[in-house]
Amino acid sequence: MSGGSTPESAVGSGLRTGVSYRGRGVMTAAVARAAERVFANTPIIRIFAAAYVSNPASQRVLDKAGFRFVGTMHRAFVGNGAFVDGCYLL
């Protein structure tokens, strides 16, 4: 199959920031740098990331790191014992 992505050419990521580091740009810088290194040093062509719809701070981190919103998946995750929606960025 030519031109498509394969399991070897796409990766995923999740985020969690300690309370004392929130709002300081630490995660944004880390995500952006990690993505740069992945693209520069591997055959990966796509990185997927997701954030809870109810977590705009995580969405902002991904946006500032160069990811773009592509849609919302309803009931994408289980959080605190209930299904929650997730917005997906790449």
Residue 38 in tokens: 């992945």
Q: Is the residue at 42 inside a domain?
A: yes
Give a yes or no: residue 1 inside a domain.
Answer: no
pLDDT at 25: 94
Instruction: Supply the range of the domain harboring residue 34.
Output: 9-89
What's the number of domains the chain is made of?
1
Please check whether residue 2 lies inside any domain of the structure. Answer: no
Beta-carbon contacts of 54 under 8 Å, excluding residues fewer than 6 positions away, are: 84, 85
**3 in a structural domain:** no
Give the pLDDT confidence score for residue 77 in this predicted structure.
84
pTM for the full model? 0.76
The burial class, CB within 10 Å (0-12 / 13-18 / 19+), for 30 is middle
- Give the model's confidence band at 16: pLDDT under 50 very low, under 70 low, under 90 confident, else very high: confident
pLDDT digits (tens, 9 = 90+) for 23-60: 999 999 999 999 999 999 998 888 888 899 999 999 99
